[in-house]
Amino acid sequence: CVRRCEEPRLGAVSRHRAAEEVRADFQRRVPYSYLQRAYIQLNKLEEAANAAHTFFMANPEHMEIQQDLENYKTTSGKVNLIDREARQHMEDYSAGVRHYDREEYELAIEFLERALKGYYSEDEDCQIMCEGPQRFEEHEYLDYKAGLYEAIADHYMQVLACKHDCVRELATRSGRISPIENFLPLHYDYLQFAYYRVGDYVKALECAKSYLLFHPDDEDVLENAGYYEGLLEGTVDPATIKPRKEARTLLRRHKLESHLLQVAAAGLGYAYTEPNYWNRYGARQDEHSVPSSISSEPEDGPRLSLTKKPMPKPDRELKEGGPLLYNDVKFVYNSQQLNGTQRVLLDNVISEEQCRELHRVASGIMLAGDGYRGKTSPHTPNERFEGATVLKALKYGYEGRVPLKSARLFYDISEKARRIVESYFLLNSTLYFSYTHLVCRTALSGQQERRNDLSHPIHADNCLLDPEANECWKEPPAYTFRDYSALLYMNADFEGGEFIFTEMDAKTVTASIKPKCGRMISFSSGGENPHGVKAVTKGQRCAVALWFTLDPLYRELERIQADEVIAMLDQEHLGPSEMNINPKDEL
Q: Is the dihedral of CA 82, 83, 85, 86 positive or negative?
A: negative
Per DSSP, what are the bridge partners of residue 533? 456, 499
CA atoms within 13 A of residue 269's CA, in its CB half-sphere: 3
* Percentage helix, strand, coil for the chain under 3-state DSSP, each rounded to 5: 45, 15, 40
| Cα–Cα separations (whole angstroms), residue 7 to 35, 50, 141, 252 | 31, 37, 21, 40
Distance between CA atoms of residues 424 and 234, nearest Å: 60
Quickly list DSSP for 232-244: HTTTS-GGG----
Q: Are 304 and 491 in contact (CB under 8 A)?
A: no
Residues 6+ apart with CB under 8 A from 381: 67, 444, 447
Q: Which long-range contacts (CB under 8 A, 24 or more apart) does 76-83 make?
A: 76/45, 76/46, 76/49, 78/45, 78/46, 78/49, 81/49, 81/50, 81/53, 82/50, 82/53, 82/54, 83/50, 83/53, 83/54, 83/57
3-state secondary structure of 26: helix
Question: Which residue among the candidates 284, 418, 541, 559 is catalytic per the annotation?
Answer: 541
DSSP string, 426-478: T-SS--EEEEEEEEEEEEPTT--TT--SEEEEEE-SSSEEETTTTEEE--TTS
Closest CA to 190 of 169, 174, 167, 210: 210
Q: Is 541 noted as a catalytic residue in this protein?
A: yes
Give CA 24 to chain center in angstroms. Answer: 21
Q: Phi/psi of residue 537, each to 5°?
A: -100, -10
d(CA 536, CA 27): 36
Residues 557, 419, 436, 510, CA torsion sign: positive
Residue 214 neighbours by CB under 8 Å, 6+ apart: 182, 184, 185, 188, 247, 251, 278
Report the C-alpha gap between 326 and 576 in whole angstroms.
35
Active site residues: 541
